[in-house]
Structure 1
Amino acid sequence: MRCLIVVDYQVDFVTGSLGFPAALRLEHPIAAKIARYHANGDQVVFTLDAHGENYRLTREGKYLPVEHCRRGTPGCALYGSVAQAKHSQDICFEKDTYGSPELFDWLRQQSFDVLEFVGVVTQVCVLANVMLAQTALPEASIVIDTDCVASPDPALHRAALDVLESLHIHVTRR
């Protein structure tokens, strides 16, 4: 069985406070991929960056002092056609840091053969959640479609893809 994990494709990362042009270009390819997974009866999961009022007091907030994905704000919502592609049975994991411990715990209870990751930001939350998934399901094949991940920093995006490949992650369309 296959599982698509959509990482942080939220308003604030696309057009909001941390938005960047490359993220906007992912909207339709990610929505199409979600539709294919649903049509095949495969699992779709979302991670959602979600911060509270004390964000700037956290370790992350001290290094990245830009308010984003605050719970209850429009910036925390899934973006555009990706939000529309989400089905009610899809699972969402809120997280207040880069990786989702709840996603890790959930994956440990699953028996997926393939995990595919899409979303933003390649060298931060995508990479962190891939590492958690690889630890939770060490025998699963993990795939990154380069048409469906992005970073505001092209050099760090490429470096993250290099690191992922070195960890035996299947990086497609590179």
Structure 2
Amino acid sequence: MKRLLMVIDYQVDFVSGSLGFPKASLLEGPICQKIQEAKARGDTIVYTMDTHENNYLSTLEGKNLPIPHCIRGTAGWHLYGEVNDLLKDARCFQKSSFGCAQLIPYLQKEDFEEVELCGLVSNICVLSNAVLVKAALPQAQVIVDAKCTDCADTAKNQEALNVLEGLQVKVLNRK
């Protein structure tokens, strides 16, 4: 079976930086375990990085969320903790929006049968990219492990997991 693990935006600013929240750092261990298991199986691993420029506050997103984050080259833009080391050989997709449109042709070319997403944040970028995967690969099994994603608001995290299930994404380890 051709599998892909996608690590979404597990960056300093979302863990301990300008948009960080306490539960985000607790995801590091489970995400590292996912990466190690995928490597051991020989699965493909890619990751996304939220990437904004210095003009962030003048963008539509910046006007709606006026908190500079993941500005290219800053400390907050980099991958967080051990995830950074584990993903050194993986392909990176930088994105300036919630979903990563560059993933669509890549996914269709590779034609994965199973795609698992983990990372941050569940109700925005993980959800957006899961929708892109479903659109690009309608016959693939798409998976999100609830132990490997979260957001600052517990209710919004649960709502995001509900929406994912409604889109026929398999949600593992639901609390």
TM-score above 0.5? yes
1:63 matched to 2:72? no
Distance 1:149 1:95 in 2: 19
Off by >3 Å, runs of 4+ in structure 1: none
What is the match of residue 41 of structure 2? 40
What is the match of residue 100 of structure 1? 100
Structure 1 segment 100-119 matched on structure 2, within 5 A: 100-119=100-119
Residue 71 of structure 2: SS of its match in structure 1? coil
Structure 2: runs of 5+ lacking an equivalent: none
What is the match of residue 156 of structure 1? 156
Residue 19 of structure 1: SS of its match in structure 2? coil
1:130 matched to 2:146? no
Residue 168 of structure 1: SS of its match in structure 2? coil
Residue 17 of structure 2: SS of its match in structure 1? coil
1:30 matched to 2:18? no
Distance 2:72 2:8 in 1: 16
Residue 139 of structure 2: SS of its match in structure 1? coil
Distance 2:47 2:160 in 1: 21
C-alpha displacement of 1:87: 3.6
Distance 1:8 1:165 in 2: 21
Identity of aligned residues (%): 46
Residue-by-residue CA offset, 1:110-167 (whole Å, 9 max, x unaligned): 1211100000111100000000111011100000100000100111100010011011
C-alpha displacement of 1:105: 2.0
What is the match of residue 91 of structure 1? 91
User: Which 10-residue stretch deviates more, 30-39 or 102-111?
Assistant: 102-111
Residue-by-residue CA offset, 1:11-48 (whole Å, 9 max, x unaligned): 00000000001111000110111011011110111010
